[in-house]
Amino acid sequence: MWRFVPKHAISVVVVALTLVSLGLPTPAGAASQAKAGGTGTTLRADLDGVPIKLVDVGHWYCHDFDYPVIHCFSHPEDLEKSSSLALAATSVTYVTVYEFTFYQGAYMHISQDYSILALIGWSDRISSLVVHTSAGGVFWTDWLYSGTRYSVCCLQQIGSLGSFNDTFSSVFQS
């Protein structure tokens, strides 16, 4: 007899099976780190300086300006302070994604390509975004830059993604 299985548990199993079939690290193996972009560089994350699981990144205020390290913070003020220091030293193309419409909830400054946003806890969770530079990017509804594309560009602010709300699974800077 089947018993009720939470949607999250099913998603984790599907992610693990897909990653194994692609030869990528599984969520268990990638709990706190994964290979970044096939470069052999280890992607990892921290919260207020303490290592966390990559999949927990989507619950905090984070930036990837020190890629392959994603820095997360308990408070948005601390993220903005850290981001301003990183941005002062370099020219970075980035977009900020938000958990809820009209720039609410957890958010992340993204300056890298992510073929599987699920690895960093952001798959199907983006509800609004801001493009901070004159360059653009493409969000995809499926992993590995597939499915329906949603292009953004040039200092754009999108408070509500409409039918694309909570559908993005990968992002690529153009």
Q: What is the pLDDT of residues 141-159, one digit of tens each?
A: 999 999 999 999 999 999 9
130/158 Cα distance (integer angstroms): 6
Sorted by sequence, the CB contacts under 8 Å of residue 8 that are 6+ apart come out as none
165 or 10: which leads in pLDDT? 165
* pLDDT score of 17: 37
pTM of full prediction above 0.85: no
Mean pLDDT of the chain: 82
Q: Which residue has the tokens 């957890």?
A: 106
Summarize pLDDT for 60-85 with one digit per residue, the tens: 999 999 999 999 999 999 999 999 88
Sorted by sequence, the CB contacts under 8 Å of residue 167 that are 6+ apart come out as 124, 126, 141, 148, 161
Which residue, 136, 132, 129, is CA-closest to 166? Answer: 129
Run of H or E residues at 50: strand 50-52
CB atoms within 10 A of CB 66: 12
* pLDDT score of 2: 32
Listed by start position, the domains of the chain span 30-173
Q: Above pLDDT 90, what percent of the chain?
A: 66
- DSSP assignment of 90-134, as one string? S----EEEEEETTTEEEEEEE-S-BS-GGGGT-TT---EEEE-SS
Summarize pLDDT for 26-71 with one digit per residue, the tens: 443 344 445 555 556 799 999 999 999 999 999 999 999 999 999 9
pLDDT reading at 6 higher than 60: no
* pLDDT score of 65: 93
CB atoms within 10 A of CB 61: 23
CB atoms within 10 A of CB 37: 14
30-173 in CATH: which number?
2.60.20.10
